[in-house]
Structure 1
Amino acid sequence: MIEQVLFFFAHNPLLMLFAVVALGYPISKIRIAGASFGIASILFAGIALGALVMAPGLDAGLKKDISKEMKLVYELGLAVFVYAMGLSISHSFWAAFSREGMKKNAVVFLVMLASTGFVVLLARLLGFNARYAAGLLTGSFTNMPALAGVIERVKTMAGVGPVELAQPTVASAIAYPIGVLVPMLIILISSKVFRVNLQEEADGLKDYQTGHQKLEVWTLRVTKPEAESLTKREIRAAGRFHVVFGRVLRKAELLLPGPEFRLKLDDLVTVVGSPDDLIQVEALIGERSHVELDRDQSALDATRVFVSRWDVVGVPLGKLDLVNKHQAIITRVRRGDLWFVPDGDTVLELGDRVRVTTRRDNIEAIEEFFGDSYRALSEVSFLTFAMGLAAGLALGQLPIPLGHGIVFKLGFAGGPLAVALILGRFHRIGPLVWNFPYSANHTIRQFGLVLFAAGIGVISGEGFRAIMSKDASVLPLFLGAAFLVCLVADSLTMLLGYKVFRIPLNIMFGIVAGTHTQPVVLGYANHHTGNDLPNVGFATVYPLATILKIVLAQVLLALIP
């Protein structure tokens, strides 16, 4: 019965592909000690089913056909995933070139170079070939785009068969769990080793606040004369407050304050922000009032609107000039699951949900201005998607000489990622909007990653079986090597970041997670700290960490015989 099922899968590769997804996805949701393997579970399921289906007795021509179809599947999945990911992280990538961002990324750069050197040393000591070493690096740092780049590079080498092609995947799959568990262990013990009270440290990190906090609305009464000398913009800048000023009540008249608006004594003003920021704004301008001005709907009202109109995305709010042109103020923006307060530099994205204060008779016009169409949000511009992805694939095939006869290609991973980072930076060029809605981007990324993991797993199954049947000792050997790589890398990350660059420990936990490009570790870091400060470190280093792994893993193939 089992043989018949496997034979049926062999003749129906598409069915086998989604059987792998159906087997692996439920496993990805199982959490042990707060951790799960996520999409890697689909990779494991693909290897297992591929090893069973691609049995020695299966017709060689049929094996070749399955491999060809799965190759197309995983290349498509990889290209779609990295392109969508590049668009979503482009803002964080370019923001990383600030002074603080450079410090964080310097840590990742040094750690990845050191880790690559350490993998070379281990390979020479333990007798790993270049394919195993590259897979060990990608698995220890849990990065599938880097693994894909390695496999693509290995395919161009002479004398590569199913076993050789499977070696990077086998090493990566064995090392992957260690790449999740060790950084969590480092996060757990670091606060004790460095004797840091994480809550006290977090309370003093005003400059690192992300704005993604619980937001409240206070009504403040202006009682301090010095507040009259400051514009709304100057009040925000005075303490680098992440707040938005909403409606103002002045002598029975409700007003909408623009950036240069000046408060006067006895004004009532609504302020939106985190409790910590609101307390400081209160100390600067006056006192909290018992009046709930935001509930007064006699002249001004608030509405929540979906951003679905292409014309308003990619434009800083300061240039939209909503107060003067549309008699409206955006007091909050929801992107994905997070609320934050905007400023003049905030750029709206398709799918954002904004809370707008405006005149009651102006609500319909505001809804029309932003679009407010859920149906439009479900539609992706496949013109710009195809144009951007095609440009990325073309860039990926360009040979880049590195000297000494080494030629490097960005490939199906690096090319689309590089183009997406550039296009995402500009948001739009003329009528062409490159970004697409948050929900659509997230779905496309997940689908692409699932296709890649399932396809590469099935292709690697035959080689995995051959490797294990020949020498099962590779399992404990790679587990031990991955543990050493992660232990050295994460310890070095903490020492460089916290001791040398003086980056707060709350932020460092996010950098550790970002170095591994591992959301599971980030979730653990947020839970361990009890705040969202690790998100700052993660978002800052994630783009560079991804690019470095794609490049360094392929460089390893040239460094080791």
Structure 2
Amino acid sequence: MLDFLLRLADPSTVGGNILIYAFVITCGLALGRIRLFGVSLGVTFVLFMGLAVGHFGFVPNPTVLGFLRDFGLILFVFFIGLQVGPSFFSSFRSGGLELNGLALFGILLSVALTVLFAFLMSGSIDLAQMLGVYYGAVTNTPGLGATQEALSELDYAGPDIAVAYACAYPLAVIGIIGTAILIRKVFSIDLAEEERLWSLHETEQNAAPITFYVEAANGYLEDRTIEVIRKVINRPFVISRRYNEAEGLVSPGPKTRVHVGDVLRVVAQEENKEAIVAFFGKERTDVDLTSEHSPVSRRIILITDPSVNGQRIRDLHLANYDGVNVTRVYRAGMEIFPYRSLHLNLGDRLVAVGPERALNRLAGVLGNQEKKLDHPNIISVFVGIALGILAGSLPIALPGIPVALKLGLAGGPLIVAILLGRYGPSLHLVTYTTNSASLMLRELGIAFFLASVGLAAGNGFADAFVNGSGLLFMGLGFLVTVLPLVAVGVAARLIFRMNYHSIVGLLSGLTTNPPALAYAATLSEKNSSAVAYSTVYPLAMFMRILSGQIVLLLFWTSVSG
């Protein structure tokens, strides 16, 4: 039976390659569920399972190994980018300068430690090997590849730096997660409270609209249309209902005229309430125009028609729907005020009020067929991935750098995905993917990536320990991993009073580490670390790729000598 299984796992066959991956991922995920001291590594354990299997010689075909590693990483970062894209730029304005400043500080500190250790250990390892340790310590595979290319251009003939990378990488994953746990213990952080504060901060940054009633007591308003009143006040608001004794309750449109004494139900952002109330003349807190017998209906309409994707609210021409008003837009769990310039996305849920027949007409235009969203738009996904690979492959020539810089297969797709998530609807590109499909592809991608890294590093990892350099690589790598992260984490908490979930995302993005982000996702049901991760990841990826080549440029004599 054992001989049969060994023949079946032959890496020269398609079935053998698939069987090896299936075994590593299955066992890794199963063992990753085991909790030690209240902590489980989750999908990260796939990496260690791959190391064990690779050590015993069950290594897939190198072509298959490289393809699944890179494709898995692309899938993971691409769907992370699509998820955080809509909020990426707003988060950069609100806290991105602090996050990226801390990330840059951490990168410079890790590079300085790498150079310092290379000179201190010059009798044991050279600078090139120390750069292998550095990239393993920050778990940056694209940077390792870029540095190997640079070394090739410089005719470096020393030991393969991938061995040092393989030794440093496993302990680096533990170091990143361990640093996050250490910060939580040192500052006695309550995860539930941190998540509540994070949600409160997000609510403040993306304030949901409020509803209130006003009475038209200003004589200027007599017989003015709502369209004219909105221009005079110059504040965004929606009047969803109007009541007076002569006409009763109606759902007004832009051309509806207001009379003194009318009671109006207004939807607006809280900061605009005072100005709106002051202009109309009086706030009413003793009325409710949403009774069951109201001739005005309220409905939530789902956008499922691709032709609506990217249109603005104004493009719906609501004035043609007999008094229909859109009062709110729900997107990705957020409640958004329906500005006339707001771009609509596939999957948005619109809260609309008005006559039943008019609401039915609007629902027909928007689609409102939930089953249509069950089928993800695969075309947009692969177009985005193709553009990401192209972006990552573009050479960036800088004066004095011996080889052109590249963002690689991780940085390119991530940046393109963020841009598509933010601007895709404006260009009428359908980037909507169901949450279940996105999670499935992300988990599949990270599992393939970790299994591939572990399987490839198995032999080199063991050989390094046989010749005695493995422990040295691991120890130096652990210091390069942990010391900058502790400094950044402490500074983020003490100086900037940063939320713990944002700190974990910062640390994961600083080390460009998808496994650490996968661990961070287990700390919060809202995946609150993803925004900080995506905010610093592009800068961190670029600087990691750049830093190795700059070190070679500045200290090449140490390598060649």
Q: TM-score range by the shorter chain?
A: 0.7 to 0.9
Q: Match for residue 533 of structure 2? A: 542
Query: CA separation of 1:226/1:384 partners in 2, compared to 1, >3 Å: closer, same or farther?
Result: same
Deviation at 1:473, TM superposition (A): 2.6
Kindly report which structure 2 residues correspond to 1:378-397, keeping only aligned pairs within 5 A, or say none.
378-397=374-393
Cα-Cα RMSD: 4.5
Q: CA deviation at 1:130?
A: 0.9
Query: Residue type of the partner of 1:457?
Result: G
The alignment partner of 1:83 has SS state of helix
Partner Cα separation in structure 1 for residue 27 and residue 317 of structure 2? 52
Aligned to 2:29: 25
Q: 2:214 aligns with which of 194, 216, 222?
A: 222
Secondary structure of residue in 1 paired with 2:376? coil
Distance 1:480 1:416, change over 3 A: closer
TM alignment of 1:210-249, pairs within 5 A: 210-211=205-206, 220-222=212-214, 246-249=240-243
Q: What amino acid sits opposite 1:510 in the alignment?
A: S
Q: Secondary structure at the match of 1:372?
A: coil
What amino acid sits opposite 2:168 in the alignment? A
Q: After the TM superposition, which of the residue ranges 264-273 and 44-53 deviates more from structure 2?
A: 264-273
Residues 1:554 and 2:545 are matched in the alignment: yes
1:516 equivalent to 2:508? Answer yes
The CA distance in 2 between the partners of 1:148 and 1:461, in whole Å, is 19
Alignment partner, residue 60 of structure 1: none
2:134 is matched with 133
Q: Secondary structure at the match of 2:54?
A: helix
CA distance in 2, matches of 1:261, 1:5: 81
Larger Rg: 2
**Structure 2 letter corresponding to 1:70:** L
Q: 1:321 to 1:101 in 2, by over 3 A?
A: farther
- Between the aligned partners of 1:479 and 1:227, the Cα distance in structure 2 is 73
| Range with bigger deviation, 385-394 or 162-171 | 162-171
Task: Please say if residues 228 and 265 of structure 1, whose CA atoms lie closer than 8 Å, have aligned partners that are also in contact.
Answer: no
Evaluate the alpha carbon distance shift between residue 81 and residue 329 of structure 1 in structure 2; reply closer, same or farther with a 3 A threshold.
Answer: farther
> What per-residue deviation string (whole Å, max 9, x for no partner) do you get for residues 334-362 of structure 1?
444x2423331543332333333332123
Note the C-alpha offset of 1:160: 9.4
Report the Cα offset of residue 72 of structure 1: 1.2
- Does the aligned pair in 1 maintain the 2:305–2:365 contact within 8 Å? yes
Tell me, which stretches of 5 or more residues in structure 2 are unaligned?
Answer: 510-515, 553-558
Residues of 2 paired with 1:347 and 1:411: CA distance? 31
Pairing partner for 1:40 from 39, 44, 68: 44
Matches within 5 A, 1:156-175: 158=152, 164-175=161-172
Shift of 1:417: 2.7
Shift of 1:131: 0.9
Structure 1 residue matching 2:9: 3-state secondary structure: helix
Judge conservation of contact 2:321–2:361 (CA < 8 Å) in 1: no
Show CA shifts across 1:71-95 (max 9, x none): 1112222233333333333333333
Contact 2:27 2:49 in 1 (8 A): yes
Q: 1:420 to 1:245 in 2, by over 3 A?
A: same
Identify if the C-alpha distance between structure 1 residues 425 and 8 changes in structure 2 by more than 3 Å, giving closer, same or farther.
Answer: same
Secondary structure at 2:352 match in 1: strand
Q: Say whether residues 1:368 and 2:372 are aligned partners.
A: no
**Secondary structure of 1:354 counterpart:** strand
Cα deviation code 1:92-147 (max 9, x no counterpart): 33335647544543343344334433444345446562111111123xxxxxxx43
**Equivalent residue letter for 2:90:** A
Residue 556 of structure 2: aligned partner: none
In the alignment, structure 1 residue 51 sits paired with structure 2 residue 42 = no
> Is structure 2 residue 499 aligned with structure 1 residue 486?
no
| Pairs aligned (count) | 512
Between the aligned partners of 1:226 and 1:118, the Cα distance in structure 2 is 69
Query: Structure 1 residue 508: deviation in Å?
Result: 7.4
> 1:550, CA displacement in angstroms?
2.0
* In 2: Cα distance, 1:189 partner to 1:290 partner: 52
Q: Which amino acid aligns with 1:420?
A: A
Distance of 1:386 and 1:207 partners within structure 2: 31
Distance in 1 of aligned mates of 2:507 and 2:456: 28
**Which residue of 2 is the match for residue 303 of structure 1?**
299
Counterpart pick for 1:74 among 54, 69, 72 = 69
Distance 1:554 1:103, change over 3 A: closer
Partner of residue 397 from structure 2, selected from 383, 398, 401: 401
User: Is residue 73–residue 445 contact of structure 2 (8 Å, CA) maintained in 1?
Assistant: yes
Q: What amino acid is the match of 2:137? A: L
In the aligned structure 1, how far is the partner of 2:77 from the partner of 2:5? Answer: 34
**Aligned equivalent of 2:424, options 424, 427, 432:** 427
Q: Structure 1: where are the runs of 5+ without partners?
A: 55-62, 139-145, 193-197, 499-504
Cα 1:282/1:20, change in 2 over 3 Å: farther
Q: 1:157 to 1:254 in 2, by over 3 A?
A: same
Q: Does 1:415 align with 2:423?
A: no
> 3-state DSSP class of the match of 1:302?
strand
Aligned pairs for 1:67-466 within 5 A: 67-96=62-91, 98=93, 101-125=96-120, 129-138=130-139, 146-151=140-145, 154=148, 158=152, 164-186=161-183, 189=186, 209-211=204-206, 220-222=212-214, 246-251=240-245, 252-256=248-252, 267=263, 269=265, 271=267, 286-289=283-286, 291=288, 293-296=289-292, 298-322=294-318, 327-336=323-332, 338-344=333-339, 345-402=341-398, 403-428=400-425, 433-439=429-435, 440-466=437-463
Q: Deviations over 1:34-90 (max 9, x none)?
A: 654343222232222222343xxxxxxxx5x62211111122222333333333333
1:314 counterpart SS class: coil
The alpha carbon displacement at 1:165 in A equals: 3.0
Cα deviation for residue 209 of structure 1 reads 0.9
Q: Secondary structure at the match of 1:516?
A: helix
Provide the C-alpha distance between the structure 2 equivalents of 1:134 and 1:555, rounded to a whole number of angstroms.
Answer: 12
In 2: Cα distance, 1:546 partner to 1:414 partner: 8
3-state secondary structure, aligned to 2:338: coil
Matching residue's letter, 2:487: V
Match of 1:467 among 464, 468, 471: 464
C-alpha displacement of 1:255:
1.9
8 Å contact from structure 1 (residues 183, 513) kept in 2: no
The answer to whether the Cα contact below 8 Å between 2:329 and 2:351 also exists between their aligned partners in 1 is: yes
Give me the TM-score of the superposition, normalised by structure 1: 0.74
